[in-house]
Structure 1
Amino acid sequence: MLTIRTIEYGSCDYHDMVALRDKILRRPLGLTFSQEYLQQEINDVLIGGFEGATLAGCCILSPVNEQTVQLRQMAVDDSLQKTGAGSRILVFAEEQARGNGFSELMMHARKEAVPFYLKNGYEIRGEEFTEVNIPHYEMFKRL
């Protein structure tokens, strides 16, 4: 059963989160995390979905302004993709954002992930663009 909760920056769970994001999001593109990049997450809301003690999925919420928060680094382990785990983590993230006073959640969604976000009530805003050398769309949802 998936248990979803926030993660403390720098904790063992956080290091597991970085490893999962590296495996799912970075390594396939030939990218790595720099210490400077990771240090920027110190004030973000870090969210993890756990199967027992094992991190199975995660995402990050980074404030953009007083109304908008950005969902970043959404990753679900290969073994749990297409099981609903990602949608459950996303709902938890939306609840966290709403509870922190935000009225909009936005993201830069990889083109391949757009159907997942559309299914979860997100809309595309603008044209396709390239980020980390792959196609993305800005997507958003009013909370």
Structure 2
Amino acid sequence: MTTPADFTFIHRLRVRWAEVDGQQVVFNGHYLTYLDVAITEFWRHAGLPFPDALAFHQGDMFVRRNLIEYHAPARMDDWLDIGLRCERIGHSSITVVWAIWTQGRLLVTGEVVNVYVDRQTRVPAAVPQAMRDQLAAFAAREPVYRVEVGDWATLQPGAASVRQAVFIGEQGIPEAEEWDTDDATSVHAVVSNLAGLPLATGRLIHAGLPAGHAKIGRMAVLRCSRGAGLGERVLRVLMEEARRRDLHHLALHAQANARGFYEKLGFVPEGPVFDEVGIPHQRMVIRL
């Protein structure tokens, strides 16, 4: 019997009105859309987020085959639990099996075969060993990320690549305003996958501040990896580094739309919202 315990990863979503057909059940074709949503989350949480992880390896993937078997219908407002696991990795193929339940009732089972290809030629190529290792760690429920803490000289390549993508490329912040002299004296944190692809970063400024005080800044997560908890990993490791250095008064300038994220980790707003590089910000503080 197929059960959720048989799967490495579970993604939950809710059936929407537009997905129900004239028979008052989910139209059969939508189950492959559900798979597409869930498998994107599978790769994200495995530390191989689309499209950046494939680009990092100079590759891409295409669907070769989809098999699907229907067992029972889903209806409007059902919560669907979609389970996935990597079943097999061949020379250039990656097979993922999947299933969907609602309230423990099995609805669908399936299998999707993807083919890994060279990014330039689009000819099938061997699945890189680093991707195999990443998927093996995920299947074994082992860590799929590495967190490094160090100085700018050591971590600049990774930290700079994430900040370039997020602040300059995505948010349109002028490059001249992104890089400053604080980088050289700050403690930096970088989260990467096992192959070394940088996914998130942040920094802890303490030089030139009153004794016991520090400022967290330049918190950034690649868009493709948001929702996998990497921002929290960066923030927690910087807070722990602050404790280690006897820095107990922390402040940061949060982008206003991220205020809730920092509040969950104990930061409280201080003062009014203000503009910084054309983006609304809120000063937030915490005492460790």
TM-score for the superposition, normalised by structure 1: 0.89
Deviation track 1:73-124 (CA, whole Å, cap 9, x = no partner) reads 0001112211111111111110001101101111000001111111111100
The corresponding residue for 2:148 is: 5
CA RMSD of aligned residues (A): 1.9
The corresponding residue for 1:47 is: 189
The corresponding residue for 2:135 is: none
The corresponding residue for 1:120 is: 265
The corresponding residue for 1:137 is: 282
Q: Secondary structure at the match of 1:31?
A: coil
Structure 2 distance, partners of 1:77, 1:68, is: 28
The corresponding residue for 1:57 is: 200
Any unmatched runs of 5+ in structure 2?
Answer: 1-143
The corresponding residue for 2:220 is: 75
Displacement after TM superposition at 1:36 (Å): 9.6
Structure 1 residues 29 and 56: alpha-carbon distance in aligned structure 2, compared to 1, 3 A threshold: closer
Displacement after TM superposition at 1:16 (Å): 2.6
Q: Which moved more, 1:57-66 or 1:25-34?
A: 25-34
Displacement after TM superposition at 1:39 (Å): 3.9
Q: Is the CA contact 1:7–1:14 (under 8 Å) kept in the aligned structure 2? A: no
Structure 1 distance, partners of 2:151, 2:162, is: 16
Structure having greater relative contact order (Cα 8 Å, sep ≥ 6): 1
Structure 1 distance, partners of 2:278, 2:177, is: 21
Displacement after TM superposition at 1:10 (Å): 3.1
Aligned match for 1:37, one of 179, 183, 189: 179
Displacement after TM superposition at 1:32 (Å): 3.5
Percent pairwise identity: 23
Larger radius of gyration: 2
Any unmatched runs of 5+ in structure 1?
Answer: none
Q: Secondary structure at the match of 1:21?
A: helix
> Alignment length, in residue pairs?
142
Q: Secondary structure at the match of 1:127?
A: coil
Aligned match for 1:89, one of 234, 237, 248: 234
